[in-house]
Amino acid sequence: MPRHQDPIVAVATAPGRGAVGIVRVSGRSLQALIHTLCDKVLTPREATYTGFLDAQGVAIDHGLALYFPAPHSFTGEDVLELQAHGGPVVLQLLLARCLEAAGQTLADARPTLAHLRLALPGEFSERAFLNDKIDLTQAEAIADLIDASTEAAARSASRSLSGAFSQEIHQLRDALIHLRMLVEATLDFPEEEIDFLRKADALGQLSKLQQGVLAVLQKARQGALLREGIKVVLAGQPNAGKSSLLNALAGAELAIVTAVPGTTRDKVQQTIQIEGVPLHVIDTAGLRESDDEVEKIGIERAWLAIAEADAVLFLHDLTRLDATEYIASDAAIARTMTQKLPQNITILDIWNKADAAPSQVPEHGVVVSAKTGVGLDVLRHQLLQLAGWQPGAEGIFTARARHVTALRRAQDHLAVASQHLAQQAQALDVLAEELRLAQNALNQITGEFTSDDLLGVIFSSFCIGK
């Protein structure tokens, strides 16, 4: 695409003040721009302390300049990094100066760096992908590493960035290509009496390939969980202890807790981690009939949050289990949940206020005390089970929903291929097609076969300058 030929520039550090800020340029033949900005020749891959000059030759700032000539750079193009003091004004002045200097003419009337423009979000990483410096899973891992909300998520993103996920996909793809070669050979030489597939143990190869896809899929599910976490909504009647439970799980006073029913009138959200898995816990307004307009809006928002949850913790007050009206209201909420919620949303009954309740408690669900912490460890364990987390899993890499979908698609095609392989020569052409489709699904993960539309969606979610 034409825009990929343009040189680009952006501030590569986060907005705001900091000790150091970086302005990054990527393109072809940056030597003229470097001379205009720094008035010296930079030694490749060596930090040089210099002034960054304005149009009059006066230093805007002094800092380190780094030059990485193509193809030995992050993007595969020439890359210049200006490391200055991290003030927003200084960085904007340097950014503007880069654009201004690019438009200056050289002695032969050529511009210093024609068509230099501001980079789009993720465009540096996109250039790295397009120039075969990284594959698509590694590019996505850059964003995942930046966005990681837990230590486990950061470590898994780092594994993906180092190529662990890509390596497993490439191994599966290579095995699949070898199996396709055997099938195509049988199709190309039907007159031969040699049974290529039987002698090469094609059925055994396909079975091993299916096992390999399943193993990678299980890791990918865990990786997607580390990246995205699950959304857990606290629901129940007023004063059931939802806000207290949120505070207890988070270990901080996030939500206001009073004895007045209806204190919580809007959603309060906090991300916590359990064994490195992020859980996005949402406290909601108490569910009841109300004439208060503000509270009614809060209750409507509560039901919307419940409908979008991965799991709902339905809180019950153990101290009110003998109150007829309270029991009837809980039953009405339960009926509404059953009617409104999709079947894939798990509802877990939480019996709160165990510290003030009689010894007789319900047998199902989890009994807790948000006040004393009793039962919280059991609840955390239940939440991990709801999320599908497998404790102690090794070598997990970060993954996204699209990766899991592609692996499932490959799994489905291999399952159909296995059925056709059992039919021998009668269905070899269909078998070959199923294997080709399985390979396409794997190729989409690393980007060997990926639409431009998908690339646009992926890289537009990156920060500018990355």
Return the residue matching tokens 């609840």: 379
> H-helix or E-strand containing 68?
strand 59-68
Task: Supply the DSSP symbol for 3.
Answer: G
Return the residue matching tokens 């009337």: 109
Token pair, residue 59, equals: 């230093």
Is 101 assigned to a binding site? no
Is 242 assigned to a binding site? yes
Is 466 assigned to a binding site? yes
Q: Give Cα separations from 402 to 126, 205, 398, 441, 447 (angstroms).
A: 18, 26, 12, 10, 12
Is 271 assigned to a binding site? no
Token pair, residue 418, equals: 């296995």
Cis peptide before 362 (omega within 30 of 0): no
Helix locations, 259-347, DSSP H: 293-307, 324-340
Is 40 assigned to a binding site? no
Is 355 assigned to a binding site? yes
Residue 245: which of 116, 61, 91, 369 has the closest Cα? 369
Residue 352: which of 335, 373, 370 has the closest Cα? 370
Is 259 assigned to a binding site? yes
Is 186 assigned to a binding site? no
Is 440 assigned to a binding site? no
CA dihedral 171, 173, 174, 175 (to 10 degrees): 90
Token pair, residue 410, equals: 């490959």
Is 199 assigned to a binding site? no
Is 263 assigned to a binding site? yes
Query: CA-to-CA distance for 218 and 203, rounded, in angstroms?
Result: 23
- Check residue 423 and give left, alpha or beta (phi > 0: left; psi -120 to 50: alpha): alpha
221-242 b/e (C-beta count within 10 Å ≥ 16 → b)? bbbbbbbbbbbbbbbbbbbbbb
Under a CB-based contact definition with an 8 Å cutoff, are residues 241 and 317 in contact? Answer: yes
Is 207 assigned to a binding site? no
Query: CA-to-CA distance for 413 and 326, rounded, in angstroms?
Result: 52
Is 354 assigned to a binding site? yes
Please list the residues that pair with 314 across neighbouring strands. 235, 349
Return the residue matching tokens 């129940």: 236
Is 175 assigned to a binding site? no
Is 258 assigned to a binding site? yes
Length of the chain as a residue count? 466
| Strands (E) located in 324-411 | 346-352, 366-367
DSSP-derived 3-state class of residue 366: strand
Return the residue matching tokens 């919580």: 264
Is 405 assigned to a binding site? no
Is 283 assigned to a binding site? yes
Token pair, residue 137, equals: 């899973």
Is 267 assigned to a binding site? no
Residue 217: which of 172, 153, 179, 159 has the closest Cα? 172
Is 239 assigned to a binding site? yes
Query: CA-to-CA distance for 36 and 97, rounded, in angstroms?
Result: 10
> Which positions make up the binding site for (6S)-5-formyl-5,6,7,8-tetrahydrofolate?
24, 81, 133, 466
Binding-site positions for GTP: 239-244, 258-264, 283-286, 352-355
| Binding site residue list for Mg(2+) | 243, 264
Could you list the residues known to form a binding site, using ranges. Answer: 24, 81, 133, 239-244, 258-264, 283-286, 352-355, 466
Please give the annotated binding residues for K(+), written as ranges.
239, 258, 260, 263
